[in-house]
């Protein structure tokens, strides 16, 4: 696909344009954004078409083509799947973790945002409700500290079943704790080390 920047909104439109799909959209400085190509089967196909074409600044976006050639944006299936995964991760937090926090409390929001950042990085939360042996990140909001205590838990085989942890087990635990802290720091959270512990306290960044 070439020459996308010179096409009208109807030149490369394929299939049923009323169904949601991935489109290439040209951002407008004035007026409505304009669809220049689509619909595509998925985001990868749309992104590849943008690279292959000689279009200017076009971006893959999901939605339904409106009658005026603009895009009525929708939540993509990929985004829906991600939010489902985020909800699954939040369900791993200890029962009643937010019992003392109003829904709009900054600490409750902080936990959700931290979980989202960890999920993006591929770091799972530990299943604190009894269903998980595999370990993961442990989050504990603490009103007194004004932040969330973050620690890393290894698989139960390492953390519980061995009579004595090996030096390698200890080093792995320390490395993973530092890695989690670094990920959160890179995501612009304020991270403070807990003295005498591999854990950290995380707060909103400045």
Residues 6+ apart with CB under 8 A from 62: 20, 21, 22, 23, 43, 73, 74, 75, 76, 79
For residue 57, the model assigns a pLDDT of 78
| Exposed / middle / buried, residue 177 (Cβ in 10 Å: 0-12, 13-18, 19+) | buried
Q: What is the pLDDT along the chain (206 residues), one digit of tens a residue?
A: 333 433 333 334 444 456 789 999 887 776 677 888 888 888 888 888 887 765 567 888 899 988 888 888 888 888 899 999 999 999 999 888 888 787 788 999 999 999 999 999 999 999 988 766 778 999 999 988 999 999 998 876 766 655 456 777 788 888 899 999 999 999 999 999 988 788 899 999 86
Distance CA 112, CA 76 (A): 21
List the structure tokens of 131: 């269903």
For residue 107, the model assigns a pLDDT of 92
pTM (two decimals): 0.73
Where exactly are the structural domains of the chain?
4-73, 78-203
For residue 120, the model assigns a pLDDT of 95
For residue 51, the model assigns a pLDDT of 79
For residue 125, the model assigns a pLDDT of 94
Q: What are phi and psi of 34, to 5 degrees?
A: -125, 130
For residue 19, the model assigns a pLDDT of 78
């Amino acid at each position: 696909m070439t020459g996308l920047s010179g096409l009208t909104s109807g030149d490369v439109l394929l299939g049923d344009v009323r169904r949601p799909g991935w489109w290439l959209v040209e951002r407008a400085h004035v007026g409505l954004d304009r669809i220049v190509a689509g619909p595509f089967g998925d985001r990868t196909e749309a992104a590849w078409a943008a690279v292959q074409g000689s279009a200017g600044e076009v971006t893959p976006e999901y939605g339904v083509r409106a009658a005026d050639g603009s895009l009525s944006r929708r939540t993509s299936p990929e985004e829906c799947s991600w939010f489902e995964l985020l909800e699954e991760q939040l369900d791993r937090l200890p029962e009643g973790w937010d019992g003392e926090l109003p829904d709009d409390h900054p600490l409750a929001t902080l936990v959700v945002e931290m979980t989202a950042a960890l999920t993006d990085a591929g770091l799972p939360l530990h299943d604190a409700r009894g269903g998980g042996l595999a370990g993961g990140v442990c989050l504990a909001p603490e009103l007194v500290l004004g932040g969330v205590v973050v620690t890393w838990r290894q698989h139960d085989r390492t953390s519980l079943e061995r009579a004595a942890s090996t030096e390698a087990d200890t080093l792995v635990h320390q490395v993973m704790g530092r890695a989690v802290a670094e990920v959160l720091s890179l995501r612009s959270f304020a991270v403070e080390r807990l003295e005498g512990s591999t854990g950290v306290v995380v707060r909103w960044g400045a």
